[in-house]
């Protein structure tokens, strides 16, 4: 997403996790920048990029540009122009979920779509599982949004389901405290997910 003048509304950093082949190794300055991004994420947000992955894509909004564009500014996205107020809301965070949200995804097997489309929040988990090359747990309520995906990729990598107990779940970060059911329930209650 960019302003009408072409200024990016997000800074985007690609942080390598997997070792790159010798012919594709990054230069010293690029590697140092990635170390800096990792340190900043750990210091500022407590985020560590240590889960198994090829790389992380880290996007940070340019708050001042977004503020300047609100509410009547236009942005360029996917070759189209949209009003900022069509994509962003400045409502105060109440801790409760709204019935609408924004989900942006691009690249790989996702079809290029300039227009907006609807997706159920329940369909996000199956989409993420399929994009990660994993089986879709059979106890998910949502469905894979096939209309968003390249039909040839769907044939090459046919979605598969697996019983939920055998689908591997993400492991906790090393050193993360274990929570018993009571502590977890209390944490969810404070976040407003459980009464």
pLDDT for 42: 85
Q: Which helix (H) or strand (E) holds 132?
A: none
- Write the CA distances from 78 to 16, 105, 126, 186, integer angstroms: 26, 11, 24, 43
Long-range contacts: 5-9, Cβ < 8 Å, 24+? 6/76, 7/62, 7/65, 8/62, 9/61, 9/62, 9/65, 9/66, 9/75
Mean pLDDT of the region 26-32: 90
Query: Contact at 8 Å (CB) between 124 and 103?
Result: yes
The mean pLDDT value of the chain amounts to 78
**Per residue in 120-173, pLDDT tens?**
888 888 998 898 888 888 888 889 999 889 999 999 999 998 887 665 555 555
Q: Which of 6-15, 25-34, 73-82, 174-183 has the lowest mean pLDDT?
A: 174-183
Mean pLDDT of the region 77-83: 73
């Amino acid at each position: 997403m960019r302003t009408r003048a072409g200024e990016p509304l997000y800074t985007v950093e690609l942080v390598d996790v997997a070792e790159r082949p010798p012919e594709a190794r990054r230069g010293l300055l690029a590697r140092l920048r990635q170390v800096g991004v990792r340190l900043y994420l750990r210091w500022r947000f407590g985020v560590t990029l240590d889960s198994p992955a090829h790389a992380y894509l880290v996007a940070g909004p340019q708050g001042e540009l977004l503020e300047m564009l609100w509410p009547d500014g236009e942005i360029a996205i996917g070759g189209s122009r949209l009003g900022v107020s069509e994509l962003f809301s400045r409502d105060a965070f109440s801790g409760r979920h709204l019935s609408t949200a924004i989900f942006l995804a691009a690249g790989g097997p996702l079809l290029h779509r300039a227009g907006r489309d609807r997706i159920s929040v329940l369909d996000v988990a199956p989409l993420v599982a399929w994009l990660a090359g994993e089986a879709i747990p059979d106890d998910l309520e949502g469905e894979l949004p096939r209309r968003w995906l390249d039909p040839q990729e769907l044939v090459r990598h046919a979605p598969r389901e697996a019983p939920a107990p055998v689908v591997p779940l993400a492991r906790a970060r090393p050193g993360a405290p274990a929570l018993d059911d009571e502590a977890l329930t209390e944490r969810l209650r404070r976040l407003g997910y459980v009464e």
